[in-house]
Structure 1
């Protein structure tokens, strides 16, 4: 009884004080009432009163009623509202209980505990259904790639992440086994930035795989065995000023001769080879702002391209701060040009490098055109001595192209600083946070479609657009499918940029700091995964105490729903800048015209801090933390919305997989995805619905492969229903998009890079893992 009294006193006092403060913020009165109940119980317990069990039973019953009223029959919200109090109540079960109230208490405690445990069996947060299994388009465009190969980041420049291979099916996928593992040797080091990530998707050309590593090594492997053929080390030095240290992939220029290159075994480091004249070429972007052209056979630099196989991408930049500009995504190769965009550090300096997009002759490296969104009509190669526009919006993700239309589709980001809009020109406003279609031969704008007006939330268009020919009520249309951070999936006509599924303009919250403004409306797509606004009842935590603290923080922040402007008070940004969708994009089956996606839901906090405050020594290098915004009157502090115990303040699930019928725009199924297996001290495979980053791959066999989530698994999903049919254990975090191909024996292989993600906290490694069916 004494222990019960002590613990009840401490918990009750905490809840009473915090609950009173929460009421002053117009929050739930429950915590104050609970605190008073517990303090009364503590007093009774210290007195060894016979009433203590009766009063505590009444408290448990009222708390259970309140918990169900707030959360419904949902295990995780109920468990964290009731679990601590039921555990505390065990102390009242330890003694023989002949005193008055014993039977009532024991019965009440038992019923509530059993009922709570029973809610674990109640399925929640899942939408069951079956996607179309019929072929709508039996001869779709899937890109000029041999069936057994993978020539670009999204398999082709269409970005579908769809393979026509169909050896692996729902009937036999359970027979997949690991067949080889390769360790690159490139791991996160002590001098690396926090966001050092392994996000590469390999290419398969001939019988070789080509992939880059976080520090820009290009590795060639035998596609049958995973044996190293050659490695080119770009010799990129560590730089603490970079926000990211990653490489998502390399690009391929097929040979003019038509003869597919064959990788050779090269013992010495490829960077030591003499440059040669190349027929085929691989393009490797580096995090020190170079573009390299390499021979697929040996890894030697291509002497015909640029300066002995490399270009300096800092040329004509208005500012050249070390680590402020680099490419994390592969360039796009189409119609004789290689188009290079880049990432500009967010929120470091108002005077940063330009977000210019440049097209070079793919063989010679000569500049063909440059498109700077601040001067969108001036696409002729920049004159000697001139510079591109300071800090103009960039395109850091992966582009797509339609060679037949002669268009490239670029997902556009924002002008830095993200949360301060007073520095932007009308042209920059027009092209920021959009998809822009440029002519591949001239760089001239064909059309632009914007997804946020005057973006103040770092809602860059993050994902590669997907090109697919859709059957609609208006007939077959050339479509462009664009996932966004805010949860919309826009389906546009890729010739014109006009929406195929309706776009609407909806009122948005107003009110900013002096000198800035917000758009009165923001766009929305009829196809979307936007979450409902957060409320106090959505707050979560391991105990009622950190739930209460999350509620206090929610009510202390400025929050008027999606697009709440940044503020000095601190604003809740939901969805957060991690996004409902990110660079992993979606996968589309062009025959069945269905889409596989991985929507995520995590809230962030954005707070503007006047430079007059004591900020010295607090500045952070990276996207999260306190970013300086040098030259601006405000720094910005960005962080996830977490409880004191470091778990999200919003209750789970935080991650799903979902299937969409693109002929109707309807979501047919949606399921929680991922477990806490690798995020807790005990390896518990509890399917909570976890966040992740990476992308899916669809095969003609009706299987979708994806890792991405924070547990170390590659999963195979039934495309029709979204059910997990198989999972393979990975040696590290799989925050990269897999790919599939045929080896020289005609066997379908599935390959996943597993190296972890610095800011997600997944297991770090340097692995390339291959699977195939075992008979």
Structure 2
């Protein structure tokens, strides 16, 4: 960890330069930031809906947005709700009725997820900042029209300025900008295999679109952290990008950004060292982009263990004093807590010995940092006695498969030719929805996945088309192109089911969970040939696809959930949880299963919990609202003090997004985005559902 001196920036707040404060400081009337406020605590001071009356909550309005995935947490400013559709159209709705006020399809829109929007204001001047593909747009909030004086005709191309040829950079802005003063501060999503864009946090002038500063997450030669990479790695290395979003200590002018994994995710022979600032929480001076402090959460990541959600700001009682802190959740199920000014851990962190890789060329880290408190919020090591008991057949299937796996804790590295258990799985632990804070009490609420996945490595192919597929596609769709049920579709026979142009567009622009692979344009002919003839004998495929050596020696064979033959997790429940943690002491207050499979509950099983995506929100009246669960399509209200469900309703689709709450027309509303994109068996659809108490 490197700690730099940090100033208190109260003078900035006193001068009234912190944009967003007037919008956020309206008694909870607005939901003016992606995670409620710049600090990202998912907290609302509203109290019209209470534990005593929440059972009367009923549907208020609904708007459908068509097929596709929808993960957007909307904004509400002065009664107007701003949201996205699955194909990245922006719309404004009357927050009290759902009536559409305007809708705008951006010229750069595609099918990448957009999880939120940002609003900037200064006096009476306001603008909406929205990501579409690789562009950041500034829109007039009254009409949706582009603001021509921002960037080039209302947009900024985020591919520019990354020390790579523009055509070779593939990125998307899936999480919205953090706003501080007159700056829009952004990261981006990029590929998880080479080549990938090099991670950077950049601040743009909200009025003009001019670049004001850049923090390079892969240090330049001679900069602190460069010694944790091979020489001149910044010229070719990629990843270490902020895709999950950021939060801001507005009064101090500190940006907190969790940084993603370096590529390639699962084989790091070409990036020996700890790879700062990948897999780190970094604190950056919002004025200049200067690094203030950092803490690396995973050294030399080999398991895609990058932080999955923005951190959250809170105040805790620690050693007899109030401490302004920042908490960062992880995919591997542990929670880090730091003094947000100094970066000092508030609970001890131990460098713990971990299993070492035996893959040729690899040099894994001998230790990984593990906090002593709080205890992990997801199970850490799968053993034979933790396998499913759902039925005797399911248990026997799981035991037979498990006997052929390596299961050795959350940092057991991949092997060549033998599956390794990844537990918690690749989707967490925590996921991108973020956490909520019981403000003033230091209580953190977190939902988590608790199922196992598996993965392995294989020797890379030498044929160009097959090598391109292995390096860029196999991680999700598998070396055998069969995909993974419910998560990644099969590509077997895809060229007979889809037009070639449709397949090529999806590859180049991305769709849903799949990032864009624009850099593959020169290899598209060979890749298409491989997809078309992938079932041919390997010797014939090599002739069809040409012979160009792969750039990687070993390839990840694909994400695989550890499931039984009926598609249920092969580990014992709970498969998803919701927890309340007292961050003053690190002690758990309660933990409950989150989600269920309705058919299992109907058969007599206790609720098992399920996969969940999207986070919770908490209100001053003591309610916690969360959707998130994939298979039961429920929106639930919990008693934040006890974890008891006080109200729930079935949504048209799964609420795999973080909800919001706001006031409009004198009523408190709860709104959540819904879609069935994560449930392959469910009918396609998406939209926004609003709930409120009956009119008096």
Indicate the TM-score class for this superposition, using the shorter chain for normalisation.
0.7 to 0.9
Structure with max Cα Rg: 1
Please state if 1:606 is matched with 2:487.
no
Partner of 1:354: 198
Partner of 2:115: 248
Please state if 1:225 is matched with 2:93.
no
Secondary structure, counterpart of 2:654 in structure 1? coil
Question: Is the 8 Å Cα contact of residues 611 and 635 (structure 1) preserved in structure 2?
Answer: yes
Question: Is the 8 Å Cα contact of residues 195 and 238 (structure 2) preserved in structure 1?
Answer: yes
Residue 161 of structure 1, aligned match among 42, 45, 54: 42
Deviates more, 1:469-478 or 1:564-573: 469-478
Please state if 1:502 is matched with 2:324.
no
Q: Which has the higher strand share?
A: 2
Structure 1, gaps ≥5 residues long? 1-140, 189-196, 240-244, 260-278, 380-386
Partner of 2:692: 772
CA 156–622 in structure 1, closer or farther in 2 if over 3 Å, else same: farther
Shift of 1:214: 2.7
Q: Superposition pairs for residues 599-678 of structure 1, below 5 Å?
A: 599-612=448-461, 616=466, 619=470, 621=473, 624-626=476-478, 631-637=551-557, 638-677=559-598
Encode CA deviations 1:697-722: one digit per residue, 9 max, x unaligned.
00001000000012111100000001
Distance 1:493 1:567 in 2: 38
Shift of 1:537: 1.9
Residue 611 of structure 2, aligned match among 672, 691, 698: 691
Question: Is the 8 Å Cα contact of residues 541 and 648 (structure 1) preserved in structure 2?
Answer: no
CA 297–763 in structure 1, closer or farther in 2 if over 3 Å, else same: same
Secondary structure, counterpart of 1:423 in structure 2? helix
Please state if 1:295 is matched with 2:140.
yes
Partner of 1:562: 410
Distance 2:679 2:342 in 1: 38
Partner of 1:424: 271
Please state if 1:551 is matched with 2:551.
no
Secondary structure, counterpart of 1:565 in structure 2? coil
Distance 1:746 1:326 in 2: 38
Shift of 1:726: 0.1
Secondary structure, counterpart of 2:403 in structure 1? helix
Distance 1:733 1:621 in 2: 27
Q: Superposition pairs for residues 270-289 of structure 1, below 5 Å?
A: 279-287=125-133, 289=134
Q: Superposition pairs for residues 307-706 of structure 1, below 5 Å?
A: 307-317=152-162, 318=164, 320=166, 324-347=170-193, 350-375=194-219, 390-424=237-271, 429-525=275-371, 526-527=373-374, 528-540=376-388, 543-568=391-416, 569-612=418-461, 616=466, 619=470, 621=473, 624-626=476-478, 631-637=551-557, 638-677=559-598, 687-706=607-626
Shift of 1:512: 2.9
Shift of 1:389: 5.4
Distance 2:439 2:64 in 1: 34
Distance 1:530 1:647 in 2: 18
Partner of 2:506: none
Q: What is the aligned residue count?
A: 587
CA 511–378 in structure 1, closer or farther in 2 if over 3 Å, else same: closer
Distance 1:323 1:180 in 2: 41
Distance 1:304 1:599 in 2: 43
Shift of 1:440: 0.9
Partner of 2:660: 739
Distance 1:373 1:400 in 2: 17
Shift of 1:767: 1.3
Shift of 1:504: 1.6
Q: Comparing both chains, which one has the higher relative contact order based on Cα–Cα distances under 8 Å and sequence gaps of 6 or more?
A: 2
Partner of 2:5: none
Shift of 1:388: 6.9
CA 215–683 in structure 1, closer or farther in 2 if over 3 Å, else same: farther
Distance 1:735 1:489 in 2: 22
Question: Is the 8 Å Cα contact of residues 129 and 136 (structure 2) preserved in structure 1?
Answer: yes
Q: Superposition pairs for residues 61-76 of structure 1, below 5 Å?
A: none
Partner of 1:73: none
Distance 1:431 1:574 in 2: 24
Structure 2, gaps ≥5 residues long? 1-17, 224-233, 480-526, 528-548
Deviates more, 1:624-633 or 1:490-499: 624-633
For the aligned residues, what is the CA RMSD?
Answer: 2.7
Secondary structure, counterpart of 2:275 in structure 1? helix
Shift of 1:549: 2.9
Partner of 2:523: none
Question: Is the 8 Å Cα contact of residues 376 and 444 (structure 1) preserved in structure 2?
Answer: no
Deviates more, 1:213-222 or 1:294-303: 213-222
Deviates more, 1:683-692 or 1:164-173: 683-692
Please state if 1:206 is matched with 2:78.
yes
Question: Is the 8 Å Cα contact of residues 169 and 196 (structure 2) preserved in structure 1?
Answer: no
Shift of 1:390: 3.9
CA 541–321 in structure 1, closer or farther in 2 if over 3 Å, else same: farther
CA 685–765 in structure 1, closer or farther in 2 if over 3 Å, else same: farther
Secondary structure, counterpart of 2:360 in structure 1? coil
Shift of 1:161: 0.3
CA 484–630 in structure 1, closer or farther in 2 if over 3 Å, else same: farther
Secondary structure, counterpart of 2:270 in structure 1? coil
Question: Is the 8 Å Cα contact of residues 399 and 465 (structure 1) preserved in structure 2?
Answer: yes
Partner of 1:264: none
Secondary structure, counterpart of 2:51 in structure 1? coil
Distance 1:612 1:227 in 2: 54
Distance 1:772 1:622 in 2: 45
Please state if 1:178 is matched with 2:59.
yes
Secondary structure, counterpart of 2:449 in structure 1? coil
Q: Superposition pairs for residues 718-729 of structure 1, below 5 Å?
A: 718-729=639-650
Secondary structure, counterpart of 2:402 in structure 1? helix
Deviates more, 1:157-166 or 1:680-689: 680-689
Secondary structure, counterpart of 1:468 in structure 2? strand
Question: Is the 8 Å Cα contact of residues 351 and 631 (structure 1) preserved in structure 2?
Answer: no
Secondary structure, counterpart of 1:280 in structure 2? strand
Encode CA deviations 1:631-663: one digit per residue, 9 max, x unaligned.
211221221112233221112210111111122
Secondary structure, counterpart of 1:431 in structure 2? coil
Deviates more, 1:520-529 or 1:486-495: 520-529
Please state if 1:754 is matched with 2:665.
no
Shift of 1:622: 7.8
Shift of 1:425: 6.3
Distance 2:641 2:183 in 1: 38
Partner of 2:493: none
Partner of 1:88: none
Distance 2:150 2:550 in 1: 37
Encode CA deviations 1:551-574: one digit per residue, 9 max, x unaligned.
222221222222101111221111
Secondary structure, counterpart of 2:145 in structure 1? coil
Distance 1:683 1:292 in 2: 50
Question: Is the 8 Å Cα contact of residues 485 and 581 (structure 1) preserved in structure 2?
Answer: yes
Shift of 1:689: 1.3
